[in-house]
Amino acid sequence: MVDIKKILKRMTVREKIGQLSQYNANLFLDTDAMVTGNMDMLVISGEDLKYVGHVLNFKSPAEMRQIQKEHLQNDRNKIPMLFMMDVIHGFRTIYPIPLALGCSFNPDLVTECSRMAAREAVKGGVQVTFTPMVDYVRDARWGRVMESTGEDAYLNSVMGEAQVRAFQGDDLSDKESIAVCVKHFAAYGGAEAGRDYNTVELSEHTLREHYLPAYKVCLDAGAEIIMPSFNTLNGVPATANSWLMKTVLKDEWGFDGIVISDFGAIKELIDHGVAQDGKAAARLAFDNNCNIEMCSAMYFSYLEELIGENVFSMAQLDEAVLKVLDLKKRLGMFDNPYRGADVTDIEITHENREVSRRAAEECAVLLKNNGVLPFKKSTKKLAVIGPFADNHNIIGFWSCNGKNEESVTVADGIKALLPDAEITVIEGCGDEWNDTDTSGFDEAVNAAKASEVVILCLGEPQDYSGEGNSRLELELHKIQLELAKAVIGVNRNTAVLTFSGRPMVLTELEKTAPAILHMWFPGTEGGMAVANLLFGFANPCGKLSMTFPRSTGQCPIYYNHTNIIKYGKPGAHKPYCASYIEHDNLPLYSFGHGLSYSDFAYEELALSKDAMTADESIEVSITVHNTSDIAGKETVMLYMCDMVASTARPVQQLIAFKKIYFEPSERKVIKFTVTEPMLRFWNNNNEYVSEPGEFRLWTGYADHLVLEKKFSLMIGSSDV
Ligand code: NOJ
């Protein structure tokens, strides 16, 4: 058994700093490895490279093995490097983007997908993933919305926890587990105007209630590492924000694991204007407990000097290094520095494709259906039209070692499902926002006229979301809208598929489309999932985890807002009313919206009692009936509102949900337990409390809440 304290004793200061430094694989190999940040800022000497303790972004297990081998040959201490990567929604087999996973409301599915990704990643030579990203987000203009599970802190916490537990397993040394790095701490998703890397200004109340909880849940679930975010939070960049990194993370939450900076974020403290030079940047970051520096070299350049000047002690340096060595040890790196990495590239298995397909089916959200779907299985002549008709680029941003060309396109999926049908595939127009070429319209319209059914495949390209990809307009591109009008104009038997990494504005499309199925970016098996969903071999069951605005100008828009005064009934604008001139503030599709081929009737919501004290609980029983003859899954949600409190409370707040399978005609009673901690909020005295009073409970989904019941909390925690 390796003795890491003994190793530490013989290490030089530069060797120690190496354990606190991470660089891109292409610095160690003569290849054009993937890079996920700005490398221009990086200046590091060849001498220091041999001390480096961590690598990110390599293309294959062979590369990982080569880097590790050469490193161990040069390192007198024989400390293996750790290899990290953004395994965000699959490693080799890509499953739907996290925002889509949020719509599944199924943590078991997230667990299954994450376990699959962990197994593949181990073989790919990865020991740490920069996931889960649990940034709470309310603004769909922000490109990184695709990495979040949505606009609800509770949902994000449940999904984040599922990922942490699935990736890390019960034992880190297990060869099917990798360590996780939860990110981006904190509130990166609050970037002003949805512009990536922009300023974040949030009250403590909003931070504590919506933005912070999911990080805490992930850490409590055992996440080994946390990454401070790029943004400033209330004036101070997260990496140097002592309130965030010391007061909250360390002192209050007791986090004692590893903190790794984001890509170049320590050097960027200079750009933020909080450090006058690199030395000040290194000082700020290290002082705020940032242990590992990713892709800038401020620690290599200045940490030794700062220790020499007694700004930091050797004990502080040792403490950080020990944490790193301890993680390497627990991952089993000292026993086997290649830890399950294959010698050849890994291939996608049939079994993993099946997991990805099921996930894509469960994440798709049926936004509208006037009865045209499901299409008849006996359909003989169809047209698949649009820029996503035969497009492999549907796996989404952050697709790791996934390959676009290996994905199943919509056309391929339909052809595989209906081998005897006559299928015409036409692009019709391009997918870029400024495309204007309508020369493909005639062919598309003629094919639509001549077909029994039309599958119209629209959306925004996959590189319009993800890091650095913010948008000013969420509207479906003008040319695609025109194509939709032309095609639907000649064939009403049309279902529109929409692909995107964010909520879109589909207001115009909704007016004409007989059916809209939102696919997000569904991953490797996207086209197969589409085929099964459209022809009734799978039943849509996704529910939106994020609001779809009616117009971009509504952003940020979210379901759990406080009461908007002077609103009155939704409708046209009236003077002195909280509505826009053009229309009121209702979204096009609310959080929780999502149709099914089954019909679910919510029949009763019963409470075990109508009052409780802080140490009691109330049982909630919701009777749901599948009144159709089609089996399906339904997410049963429980919402509450604290009617009068010392701070204004959200008009609705999701406090529990369960995803349930129903046989045809089946009726089930779904049970939830309401306890006092579920009623707490952050008050103006900076306390997390519940207050006595009346609460409303509902089921259904935001803007369509049903079966309201009230109960009272007799004594809240604020009285104790
Ligand atoms: C920058 C991104 O913000 C972060 O999410 C990612 O983990 C790192 N680059 C590494 O790729």
Per-residue pLDDT tens over the stretch 403-429: 999 999 999 999 999 999 999 999 999
φ/ψ of 573, rounded to 5, equals -65, 135
Closest-CA residue to 501 (of 87, 20, 166, 88):
88
Residues 338-385 pLDDT 10s: 999 998 889 999 999 999 999 999 999 999 999 999 999 999 999 999
Beta strands (DSSP E) in 627-691 are: 632-642, 653-662, 667-675, 681-682, 688-689
φ/ψ of 600, rounded to 5, equals -110, 125
Q: Is 54 in the pocket of ligand 1 (CB under 6 A)?
A: no
Query: Residue 577 — pLDDT band, cuts 50, 70, 90?
Result: confident
Residue 141: both structure tokens together = 């203009």
Whether the CB-CB separation of 325 and 7 falls below 8 Å is answered with yes
Residues 463-472 pLDDT 10s: 999 999 999 9
What confidence score (pLDDT) does residue 33 get? 64
Pocket-testing residue among 36, 131, 230, 296, ligand 1, by greatest number of atoms within 8 A of Cβ: 36
pLDDT at 143 exceeding the cut of 90: yes
Q: To which residue do tokens 């950080």 refer? A: 320
Q: Atom 11, ligand 1: which residue's CA is nearest? A: 36
Instruction: Using DSSP bridges, classify how beta strands 632-642 and 653-662 pair: parallel, antiparallel or unpaired.
Output: antiparallel
Cα(538)–Cα(530) distance, integer angstroms: 9
Residues 45-72 pLDDT 10s: 778 889 999 999 999 999 999 999 999 9
- In order, the DSSP letters of 38-56 are -GGG----HHHHTT--EEE
pLDDT at 41 exceeding the cut of 70: no
CA of 34 to the centre of ligand 1 (A): 12
Fold of 600-713: Immunoglobulin-like (2.60.40)
Cα(250)–Cα(242) distance, integer angstroms: 10
Say what angle helices 153-168 and 213-220 make with each other, to 10 degrees.
30
| Verdict on whether the full-model pTM lies above 0.95 | yes
Cα(388)–Cα(391) distance, integer angstroms: 5
CA of 229 to the centre of ligand 1 (A): 9
Atom of ligand 1 nearest to the CA of 188: 3
What confidence score (pLDDT) does residue 491 get? 98
Q: Is 37 in the pocket of ligand 1 (CB under 6 A)?
A: yes
Residue 221: both structure tokens together = 């679930």
Q: Which residues share a beta bridge with 624?
A: 602, 668
Pocket-testing residue among 55, 83, 231, 294, ligand 1, by greatest number of atoms within 8 A of Cβ: 294
Query: Residue 29 — pLDDT band, cuts 50, 70, 90?
Result: confident
Pocket-testing residue among 24, 84, 126, 130, ligand 1, by greatest number of atoms within 8 A of Cβ: 130
- Which one from 262, 342, 412, 431 is the annotated catalytic residue? 262
Residues 108-126 pLDDT 10s: 999 999 999 999 999 999 9
What confidence score (pLDDT) does residue 570 get? 72
CA of 103 to the centre of ligand 1 (A): 24
Cα(30)–Cα(178) distance, integer angstroms: 27
Average per-residue pLDDT for the chain: 96
CA dihedral 238, 239, 245, 246 (to 10 degrees): -120
Query: Residue 155 — pLDDT band, cuts 50, 70, 90?
Result: very high
Q: Atom 3, ligand 1: which residue's CA is nearest? A: 262
Whether the CB-CB separation of 339 and 175 falls below 8 Å is answered with yes
600-713 has the same fold as 363-545: no
Cα(675)–Cα(73) distance, integer angstroms: 58
| Residues contacting 451, CB < 8 A, separation 6+ | 381, 382, 383, 424, 491, 493
The class level of CATH for 363-545 reads alpha beta
Query: Residue 574 — pLDDT band, cuts 50, 70, 90?
Result: confident
Q: Is 36 in the pocket of ligand 1 (CB under 6 A)?
A: yes
| Residues contacting 319, CB < 8 A, separation 6+ | none
Does the annotation count 262 as an active-site position?
yes
What proportion of the chain, given as a percentage, has pLDDT over 90? 91
pLDDT at 27 exceeding the cut of 90: no
Q: Is 198 in the pocket of ligand 1 (CB under 6 A)?
A: no
| Residues contacting 390, CB < 8 A, separation 6+ | 384, 409, 410, 411, 412, 425, 427
Strand order in the sheet with 693-701: 611-612, 704-713, 693-701, 632-642, 653-662
Cα(532)–Cα(408) distance, integer angstroms: 13
349 CA to centre of own chain: 25
Q: Is 268 in the pocket of ligand 1 (CB under 6 A)?
A: no
Query: Residue 701 — pLDDT band, cuts 50, 70, 90?
Result: confident
250: three-class secondary structure by DSSP: helix
Query: Residue 703 — pLDDT band, cuts 50, 70, 90?
Result: confident
Cα(10)–Cα(318) distance, integer angstroms: 12
| Residues contacting 306, CB < 8 A, separation 6+ | 279, 282, 283, 286, 312
Cα(671)–Cα(617) distance, integer angstroms: 13
CA of 480 to the centre of ligand 1 (A): 32
pLDDT at 715 exceeding the cut of 90: no
What confidence score (pLDDT) does residue 720 get? 62
Mean pLDDT, range 519-529, rounded to an integer: 98
Sign of CA dihedral 642, 648, 650, 651: positive
CA of 387 to the centre of ligand 1 (A): 30
Cα(215)–Cα(252) distance, integer angstroms: 13
Pocket-testing residue among 146, 262, 267, 469, ligand 1, by greatest number of atoms within 8 A of Cβ: 262
| Residues contacting 135, CB < 8 A, separation 6+ | 144, 147, 148, 183, 184, 187, 188, 189, 211, 229
Q: Atom 7, ligand 1: which residue's CA is nearest? A: 130
pLDDT at 179 exceeding the cut of 80: yes
What confidence score (pLDDT) does residue 30 get? 72
Mean pLDDT, range 571-591, rounded to an integer: 86
Residues 674-687 pLDDT 10s: 999 999 999 999 99
Residue 294: both structure tokens together = 């990713």
pLDDT at 460 exceeding the cut of 70: yes
Whether the CB-CB separation of 228 and 238 falls below 8 Å is answered with yes
Give 235's DSSP letter: T
- Structural domain boundaries of the chain? 363-545, 600-713
Cα(647)–Cα(693) distance, integer angstroms: 13
